Amino acid sequence: MEPITEPSRVNYFYGRLLTAEDFEQEQQAIRERHWLHNRLLHGFGVVTGLDVTVDGDRVEVSAGVAIDALGREVLLLEPRCLRADSEVLGNDGAAVDVVVAWGEQPDGEVPGPDGPVPARFVERPVVALASDAAAGVPEHALPLARLVRRGDEVVADRSPRQPFVPVLAYS
């Protein structure tokens, strides 16, 4: 759980010089309030879609929506394919999780004072195969399925999937 901080905002007035840092802080404050709202009033998990299907060593995650434990929306707008070949799932009984996590990437370039800088940041989820102790798996990733090798076949077990869990209303 992320700590809750005191909300603050920029004080706008005529003649004030605004910096890039002022705008960055304003954006971040809005994002954090929205994430707090999601986290505390709605819950987290897979809201819809994000189904995992396996065809040979090809794993597909369908488009869908989830909310991670920090309250960030994870929007996968198009199906994403992964490979679960013998290098990933070698032995009979071997297992690996299919996970999805919030992510953002720079998009485009504009000139900055010290060289090119990203023009925008696009929220683009990370879909990955991850063993229980895999390094590099994004923090707060949501499990979608566990892939298990059974002989020559790879099957998707949905039991690790984190369904959307709404916060219970007070009674």
Q: pLDDT (tens digit, 0 to 9) for every residue of the chain, 171 residues total?
A: 566 777 778 888 899 999 989 998 888 888 888 888 888 888 889 999 999 999 988 899 999 999 998 999 999 999 999 988 777 777 777 788 999 999 999 999 999 899 999 999 999 999 998 864 555 677 889 999 999 888 878 888 898 888 887 776 544
Q: Where are the domains of the chain?
A: 20-166
* 95: β partners: 148
Chain position carrying tokens 């799932």 = 89
Chain position carrying tokens 């869990």 = 165
DSSP β-ladder status, 104-112 and 115-123: antiparallel
Strands laid side by side in the 80-83 sheet: 52-55, 58-61, 80-83
pTM over 0.85: no
CATH 1.10.1760 for domain 20-166, yes or no, is: no
